Every structure is written in C-alpha cells, then in structure tokens.
Chains A and B, each alone.
Chain A
Amino acid sequence: MTSMTNMTTMTTMTTMTTMTTMTSMSKRSIIGIALLVALVLAAVIARLLIGRDPIAGGINFGWPVAEILVLRFGAVQSALVAGASLGLSGLLLQALLRNPLASPFILGLSAGAGLGATAALWILTASGAAAAPWMLIAVRGADGVIPGTIGSLGVLILVYALGRRGGRLDPLTLVLAGTVVATLCGACILLVQSLMPPASRGDSWMWFMGQVPEMPSRGTLFTAIMVLSIAFAASVRSAAALDVASTSDDEAESLGVSLRTLRVMLFVCAGTLASASVALCGPIAFVGFVAPHIARVVLGARHTALVPASLLAGAAVLVWADAIRQSIDIGAGRLPIGVLTALIGGPIFLIVLRSGRSRSGEWRC
C-alpha cells in the first residue's frame, strides 16, 4: 500500500516537473528558433528580390526573370550551406577551446587553403609547358577545389599533431599551434605572390575576401551538405556533453564526459566544416565567430539549443551579407563578401566584448 502511494506520488511529481521544465525551457527555445528561421527566410527573400542594374546603375527590387532567378537561387544555396557550416564550426570550436573569441579560422584553415591554392598555381606556372597531365587534373579538376582542400586538411592534421599535450588535445596548445601555422602559411603565400607578375597579383588577393558563387559546383555543394548533415547529427548527439565540457577538465571527466573522444570529435567536425565551406566559398571571415554569439543572445547557453541556432544564425548572417552587398553600388562593381561580413561582424564583436563579462570579471563562454 505504502509503496503504491509512493509510486503514484513519484509518477505525479515526475510528470509535473517534466511538464514544467518543458514549458519553461521550450517556450524560449521555440520562440528563438522560430525567430532565427524567420530571419533566414527573410534573408533568402531579400536576396532573391534585390537586383542591381549594371548598365544604368542603381538598385531595383522585384521578382526576377527565370534565368536571373536561377543565378540568385544558386547564390542562396551557396550562402546557406557555407553560412550554416561556418556557424556550426564556430560554435564547436568555441566549445572545444573554451574561448568565446574562437572562430573557424583560428586553427589556420583559411591560410592553409590559400597556401594550397597559391602553391599549386605557382607550380603550374613554373613548370609551364612541362606540366604533367596529372598535375593539370589535380589543380583544375573538380572546379579547382582540390589544392585548397588539401591545404586546409593538411593544416588540420598538422595542428592536431602539434596541439596535443599529455596525450590529448589541449585548448591553449591548439590555439598557439593554429596561430603559428597560420602565420607560416601566410608568409609563404606572400612569398609566392611576390614572385608573380604585378598584373596578376590583384586577382589572387581577391580570393582571400571570399566569394558566394551563383553557380556552385554540384559536387562541392553536395559534399558540403553531406559534411554539414553529418556534423550536425554528431553535434546534436553531443550537445549535452558540450554543456558539461564547459566546466573544467576534472569536473567534466568526473561528471561522465570522455574529454579525449569529445575533443577529437569537435576538432574533426569543426575542421571539416570549415574546409568544406572554404572549398565552396573561399575563406569568409567573421561568420563563424559571430553566429554562435547571436545564437547565445537569442537562446541562452545550453548547447541543445545552440547547435541548431548557430547553424541558422550563420546561414542568416551570410545570406543577409550577400543580399546587402547586392544593394550597394559604389561604382566599383560588387564588394567582396569578406568586406560585408567584416562590417557586420566587427560591431557585433564589439558588443560581445562589452557585454560578455560576468560580475567576477571572467569570460563567459
């Protein structure tokens, strides 16, 4: 009799507590996610409707003709996938490195991709007519993404090897290794560029500002979507562990998180997401840094909500940046996308800096 009463009380209590928890937490989360989805949709619509007249100058606004619509939609696809990848990659890296200032390129990925592309270009130019057929395929095949991808993945492996301490990945060592490798790659890129004729230097500089291709290569887009889906699934599954891992190493391990495997998973996911994004759109700064912070402002700090939210926020930022740059006409053609994301990301970074300190003066992540 007593055990029956106990069980009934227990069940009632459980149900009531679960429901209260669900309603109190989910309400904010539902509204937040809905807001972000709306933001993405609004960005997509804006990008599809805003146009620029290259001949007469000026902006026009309206549903475009079929052929132009296909081009705009292609840009939307590129921006959605790359933006979402960068947003999620930024969140995972900020969790891995316990640092709210981390971004996907803090590990030196964009420098690695740039070095891969520049080095391949230089090898081809240097060998000239003597270039072997395999070299040509390696550099020009698959829409030219192979050298850059090899570069970024190579940097990943190097930083992984350098970033271990005591047998497992260490946040501070990773940042240091990434910074050193990025600086070295950057120096090599400048070296190769200085060897090129002055007339062709302008073009390659522009690659570092990023692009949003209106006709993305099918293969690259598909691969990027696959990488995004797999990384997203893995992140959702580890979201609870990410909350635990934001405490100290000892506490996280004692609460049941295997930091060794979690850090490897975070590193691999964040790295491949950033690589895929660079393969699709080149290195676009700030999106990966800013998106998790937007997500935090809207949804709080729990990673179960932050994972989908960072994805949405990243997509929103990049599509909005692309839409806004369509509407800017300063007579020099379209601004590079990197300029827009920096102009948007910079002020948001300042806001984070001002509001991101807790009462104890320590950083909240």
Chain B
Amino acid sequence: MLTLDSVSFQYGHRHALRAITASSDAQKVVALVGRNGSGKSTLLRLIAGLAVPTSGSLRWRGSVLSALAPARRALEVAYVAQRPSLSIDLTAREMISLGRFASRSRLDGAVRIDRAIEQMGLEGLRDRAFHELSAGEQQRCVVARALAQHETNGLLALDEPFSNLDPGELVRVFTVIRQCAKEGALVVIALHDLSFVDQVADTVWWLEYGSALAMGAPSDVLTTARLKEIFKCDFVRGPQGLTIEIRL
C-alpha cells in the first residue's frame, strides 16, 4: 500500500510538487500523466525513495522509503530512470544482472536474470555490448534490469519506459507490466503517450504544475473536455482508447 500525504517538493526555490495526497493498493497499475514539467519525474523519484519530500509523508507498506538504507530499499522498489546511463561498458546480460546486486547472496540470481531477458525478448542480444544496442533495445534492457531486481509484492517505479519502443515491443512491455501487477506488485508509470492509458492503467494520477489535477479511473479522469483544456488539442475516445485528432 502506497500512501502520499500532502507531499511537496522544492528544488531550491522552485516548487516542483505541491501537497499531493493519494494512495494505492498493490496489484494495480497507476499511470502518472501530465504535461512536460508537471512534476511526474520528481514524484516518481520520491516514490522510489531517491529524494526526501520537503513536507508531507510518503510511505510504502508503512515504512518511509527514503529513510531506508539503499541495500534494503532496493529489495522493496525497482526504479527505471527517464534518462538512464547509456555509456556502460558491459554486455547486455551483465547490465541486466546489475539488478540482482541487492539480492546477490541469493542463489536464484541467474534464473531471475534469464527470466527477465526472456520477458523482454532480449535472448539474441545477451552477449552484445550494451552501448552498441539501439535505443529501443537499451530501453528494454533497463526495464529488464528492473524486472530482475523486482520482488513479487514489491513496487515498480518506471519513468517513461516506452519512449523508444516500436508497437510490438510496446505490447510486450505492457503485458509484462500487467502480469507483474497481477502477481502482487504496485506499478507506477510516468507516461507521455495517452493512447493506451485506458488499457494499461487501473488508476490515473494527473499532475499539472506540480499539483494533482485529477485522480481516478482513466475514463473518469481523462475526459475529452479536460484534455482539450490542458493540452489545447482535440482528443477522441474510441473503443481502444484515446487518439489525437489533427485538423490541418
């Protein structure tokens, strides 16, 4: 259970988040949406325990993640950064195996790594140098690393993990995410592309200028009227989800 109670965050004098109050149970996928600069990445870093809220409290299963030692915290939450480090001189498999660092004393490491590789469809790339892969392949590796790290019933915090993926890869990642949620995880994803929020997420948290604009089920929150007001363009809601209508 993730609870945010009036969470605020400041970078110096700039208010990135203002009094966000929200909560979610496990076995759910929460989508964080909003314009660029609305505070999605900041909120995700706070949820991952990488920063301390300036005020308010943020708890996962009753404990304050940012107060935990990194080794302990890594067993609770797996995080994918928006711009992960790409100039790493390891093979893809070695890079993914970094996800097992916190639990390296356990013997199922190799199995977990291979399972993550299989889930992300990276079997043919395991021995290639990570920095030689395409952007989409690198992104899938980073997600695989988080999957290898992630324990059942844990928290997955993913910041824009789909930005470089083609449709087939996208579907694969979505399926895996939903599977993780089904098995007991809470997945919080920051998203740019609203087209598939309906299909992927159970809950949407919509941020605007660091404040919570709306929270709830996708169809309730992402109304075409509200979308037009914020994004200044027309959306159409079809059976598979939202699409943008471009009139030239």
Chains A and B touch (C-beta atoms under 8 A apart): yes
Partner-B contacts on A (CB < 8 A): 10, 13-14, 17-18, 21, 240-241, 243-244, 246-248, 250-251, 253-259, 296, 300-302, 358-360, 362-365
Contacts A248-B81, A256-B102 given: A14-B108 contact, CB under 8 Å?
Answer: yes
CA distance A257 to B102 in the complex (A): 8
CA distance A243 to B91 in the complex (A): 12
Are A17 and B114 in touch, CB under 8 angstroms?
yes
Q: Please encode chain B, from 121 to 165, with 1 for each CB lying within 8 Å of some chain A CB and 0 for all others.
A: 000000000011000000000000100010000000000000000
Residues from chain B with a CB closer than 8 A to the CB of A296 are 89
CA distance A247 to B130 in the complex (A): 12
Are A256 and B84 in touch, CB under 8 angstroms?
no
Are A14 and B70 in touch, CB under 8 angstroms?
no
CA distance A301 to B111 in the complex (A): 23
- What 5 new A-B contacts, CB under 8 Å, besides A254-B81, A302-B94, A364-B87? A243-B98, A250-B81, A251-B81, A255-B98, A255-B145
User: Does residue B32 face the partner (Cβ distance < 8 Å to A)?
Assistant: no
Are A255 and B102 in touch, CB under 8 angstroms?
yes
Closest A residue to B104 using CB positions = A240
Can you list 13 A-B pairs, Cβ within 8 angstroms, ordered by A? A14-B108, A14-B110, A18-B110, A243-B101, A251-B84, A253-B70, A254-B79, A256-B101, A258-B71, A358-B89, A358-B131, A360-B86, A360-B87
Q: Please encode chain B, from 63 to 102, with 1 for each CB lying within 8 Å of some chain A CB and 0 for all others.
A: 0000001110111011101001111111000100011011
Which of A13, A250, A302, A360 is within 8 Å of B90, CB to CB? A302
Shortest Cβ-Cβ A-B pairs, 6 listed: A256-B74, A256-B102, A301-B89, A362-B87, A254-B79, A17-B110
Are A10 and B111 in touch, CB under 8 angstroms?
yes
User: Does residue B242 face the partner (Cβ distance < 8 Å to A)?
Assistant: no
Are B90 and A243 in touch, CB under 8 angstroms?
yes
Q: Please encode chain B, from 35 to 78, with 1 for each CB lying within 8 Å of some chain A CB and 0 for all others.
A: 00000000001001110000000000000000001110111011
| Whole-angstrom distance between the Cβ of A280 and the nearest chain B Cβ | 32
Closest B residue to A22 using CB positions = B110
User: Does residue B246 face the partner (Cβ distance < 8 Å to A)?
Assistant: no
Residues from chain A with a CB closer than 8 A to the CB of B71 are 256-258
Closest A residue to B135 using CB positions = A360
User: Does residue B248 face the partner (Cβ distance < 8 Å to A)?
Assistant: no
Are A364 and B101 in touch, CB under 8 angstroms?
no
Contacts A250-B45, A254-B74, A258-B71 given: A240-B101 contact, CB under 8 Å?
Answer: yes
Closest B residue to A365 using CB positions = B89
| Whole-angstrom distance between the Cβ of A1 and the nearest chain B Cβ | 21
Are A241 and B111 in touch, CB under 8 angstroms?
no
User: Does residue B230 face the partner (Cβ distance < 8 Å to A)?
Assistant: no
CA distance A255 to B149 in the complex (A): 8
| Whole-angstrom distance between the Cβ of A351 and the nearest chain B Cβ | 16
Are B110 and A257 in touch, CB under 8 angstroms?
no
Q: Please encode chain B, from 200 to 224, with 1 for each CB lying within 8 Å of some chain A CB and 0 for all others.
A: 0000000000000000000000000
Closest B residue to A302 using CB positions = B94
Residues from chain A with a CB closer than 8 A to the CB of B90 are 243, 301-302
| Whole-angstrom distance between the Cβ of B217 and the nearest chain A Cβ | 29
Are B84 and A241 in touch, CB under 8 angstroms?
no
Residues from chain B with a CB closer than 8 A to the CB of A10 are 108, 111
Are A362 and B86 in touch, CB under 8 angstroms?
yes
CA distance A363 to B98 in the complex (A): 20
CA distance A251 to B143 in the complex (A): 12
Closest A residue to B69 using CB positions = A258
Are B50 and A246 in touch, CB under 8 angstroms?
no
Are B101 and A255 in touch, CB under 8 angstroms?
yes
CA distance A153 to B78 in the complex (A): 40
Are A241 and B101 in touch, CB under 8 angstroms?
yes
Residues from chain A with a CB closer than 8 A to the CB of B50 are 250, 253-254
Contacts A240-B104, A253-B70, A254-B48 given: A358-B87 contact, CB under 8 Å?
Answer: yes
Are B84 and A17 in touch, CB under 8 angstroms?
no
Contacts A359-B131, A360-B87 given: A21-B74 contact, CB under 8 Å?
Answer: no
Are B87 and A256 in touch, CB under 8 angstroms?
no
CA distance A301 to B87 in the complex (A): 12
CA distance A228 to B241 in the complex (A): 62
